[in-house]
């Protein structure tokens, strides 16, 4: 049975990632729109500054994971003390991204935007949410519960974040640039305080794995030894393309086809759908084996993405229920996928007596961040190629080109994700045995 220490750490894990997850959503949804429609940066520049910043972050992710894994465990923990500093810098750089200095030339603002994007992404990586979550319990059933609680709180707060653009519009009646300044401060400060409290609440247990330092060559050693991790990386490579390709371009589709007033409503619907999916995942996981559950989820995603593509002309009323359904399914997939990553960390420690939690997490994040770079580059290139002009109505050519990117490509990626999933080798029974082994060692 969980003890008081578990519940305290559980509360901490719920809170510690609030800033990281919520500002990640804000940046992913609104930063390119802020640059193109408010700051009037050239679309080609925006494309390259986002791609370079994301790729810089992705390439540095494994190095940052190596640094974090080699930090000594003290009474302040290991990953916990990193999260304190990571959240401080993440809050500062998030606000700075939207606070363009008044009086600077366009070229100076572009340099400022480029530097801040690099710094923001480095700070984002130094909040090791997955290692912190994996460390509080090895019980697979409790992990589903932890992941559910974590995501439900994040999505509950996300309903407020879905109001970000209406808040921008409220304060930006005279100037949208000023609106973005006020809105980002209003959102970041309380999120930072709750995340800082989460770091304080977590009590991180000492790992029973070898204390030998990890080296650069250990990245390849982890991949070579851990076959389930290799398969999971292929799965993650395909799965992590689904959401970026849908989200990067969707904000443009909504603004120019449905109107700015639809942005807040659709993103609230997305959060409600996502939260429902997260809640359902815990219930469904009790009765359906996780590989079967994920297979059904991706099969439904393929179907709905295709329906979404054909509903764009003449059936726009279907866009709302279809968008809600997609996010519900993505919510189910997110929770189950996160437990698979935690399984791999425990499987590695059980099999090889070392716990490279941040290395495993950072390699996965490297792939995910690289996919955001690919999605940003492809989407903004397609907009440029199809004749997109900021604050001008979309042509049919632009609309259909965008639809192929945000609906048909995710359908294709969902199909290949479904195929790859069938090769994942760790069974639920094996993870129950591994979890029991670690829980017994902690009690002893």
Q: What is the pLDDT along the chain (444 residues), one digit of tens a residue?
A: 455 666 777 778 778 888 888 888 788 778 888 998 888 898 888 888 888 887 777 677 666 666 666 667 666 767 777 888 889 999 999 999 999 888 888 889 999 999 999 999 888 877 777 667 766 666 666 666 676 677 667 766 766 777 888 889 889 888 888 999 999 999 999 999 998 898 888 776 665 444 455 555 666 777 788 888 889 888 988 888 898 888 878 878 888 877 777 777 787 788 788 878 887 887 887 788 888 899 999 999 999 999 888 876 555 677 788 888 998 999 888 878 878 887 888 888 888 877 777 677 777 777 777 777 788 888 888 888 888 887 788 888 888 888 888 889 999 999 999 999 999 888 778 877 877 777 676 665
Q: HEC profile for the chain?
A: CCCHHHHHHHHHHHHHCHHHHHHHHHHHHHHHHHHHHHCCCCHHHHHHHHHHHHHHHHHHHHHHHHHHHCCCCECCECHHHHHHHHHHHHHHHHHHHHCCCCCCCHHHHHHHHHHHHHHHHHHHHCCCHHHHHHHCCCCHHHHHHHHHHHHHHHHHHHHHHCCHHHHHHHHCCCCHHHHHHHHHHHHHHHHHHHHHHHHHHCCCCCCCCCCCCCCCCHHHHHHHHCHHHHHHHHHHHHHCCHHHHHHHHHHHHHHHHHCCHHHHHHHHHHHHHHHHHHHHHHHHHHHCCHHHHHHHHHHHHHHHHHHHHHCCCCCHHHHHHHHHHHHHHHHHHHHHHHHHHHHHHHHHHHHHCCCCHHHHHHHHHHHHHHHHHHHHHHHHHHHHHCCCCCCCCCCHHHHHHHHHHHHHHHHHHHHHHHHHHCCCCCCHHHHHHHHHHHHHHHHC
CA–CA distances in Å: residue 258 to residues 107, 158, 297, 324, 331: 33, 22, 28, 16, 25
Residues 6+ apart with CB under 8 A from 379: 245, 248, 249, 402, 405, 406
Domains, the chain, ordered by start: 8-205+212-443 (1.20.1250.20)
Rounded distance, CA 32 to CA 39, Å? 10
Six-digit token string for 50: 């986002």
**Inter-axis angle of helices 18-33 and 357-385, to 10 degrees?**
20
Look-up: residue for tokens 């939690």?
A: 357
How far are the Cα atoms of 19, 104, 183, 317, 426 from residue 188, in angstroms, in the given order? 7, 25, 9, 34, 39
Q: What does the angle CA 184 – CA 248 – CA 48 come to, to the nearest 5 degrees? A: 90
């Amino acid at each position: 049975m969980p003890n008081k220490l578990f519940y305290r750490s559980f509360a901490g894990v719920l809170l510690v990632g609030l800033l990281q997850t919520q500002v990640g959503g804000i940046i992913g949804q609104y930063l390119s729109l802020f640059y193109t429609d408010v700051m009037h940066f050239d679309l080609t520049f925006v494309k390259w500054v986002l791609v370079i910043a994301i790729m810089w972050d992705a390439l540095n992710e494994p190095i940052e994971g190596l640094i974090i894994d080699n930090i000594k465990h003290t009474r302040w923990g290991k990953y916990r003390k990193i999260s304190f500093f990571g959240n401080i810098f993440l809050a500062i750089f998030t606000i700075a991204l939207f606070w363009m200095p008044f009086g600077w030339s366009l070229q100076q603002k572009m340099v400022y935007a480029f530097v801040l994007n690099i710094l923001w992404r480095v700070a984002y990586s130094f909040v090791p949410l997955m290692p912190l979550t994996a460390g509080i319990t090895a019980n697979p059933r409790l992990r589903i519960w932890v992941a559910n609680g974590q995501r439900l709180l994040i999505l509950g707060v996300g309903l407020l974040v879905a109001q970000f653009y209406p808040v921008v519009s409220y304060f930006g009646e005279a100037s949208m640039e000023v609106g973005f300044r006020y809105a980002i401060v209003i959102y970041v400060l309380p999120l930072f305080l709750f995340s800082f409290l989460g770091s304080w609440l977590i009590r991180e247990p000492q790992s029973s794995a070898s204390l030998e330092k990890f080296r650069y060559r250990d990245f390849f050693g982890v991949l070579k030894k851990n076959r389930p991790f290799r398969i999971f990386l292929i799965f993650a490579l395909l799965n992590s393309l689904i959401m970026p390709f849908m989200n990067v371009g969707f904000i443009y589709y909504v603004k120019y086809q449905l109107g700015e007033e639809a942005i807040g409503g659709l993103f609230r619907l997305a959060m409600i759908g996502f939260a429902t999916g997260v809640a359902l995942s815990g219930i469904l996981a009790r009765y359906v084996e996780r590989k079967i559950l994920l297979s059904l989820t991706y099969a439904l995603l393929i179907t709905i993405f295709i329906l979404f593509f054909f509903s764009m002309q003449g059936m726009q009323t279907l866009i709302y229920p279809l968008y809600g359904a997609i996010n519900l399914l993505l919510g189910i997939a997110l929770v189950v996928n996160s437990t698979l990553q935690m399984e791999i960390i425990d499987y590695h420690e059980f099999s090889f007596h070392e716990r490279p939690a941040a290395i495993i997490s950072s390699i996965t994040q490297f792939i995910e961040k690289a996919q955001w770079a690919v999605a940003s580059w492809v989407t903004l290139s397609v907009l440029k190629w199809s004749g997109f002009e900021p604050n001008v109505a979309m042509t049919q050519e632009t609309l259909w080109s965008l639809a192929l990117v945000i609906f048909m490509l995710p359908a294709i990626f969902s199909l290949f994700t479904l195929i790859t999933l069938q090769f994942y080798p760790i069974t639920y029974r094996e993870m129950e045995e591994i979890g029991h082994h670690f829980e017994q060692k902690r009690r002893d």
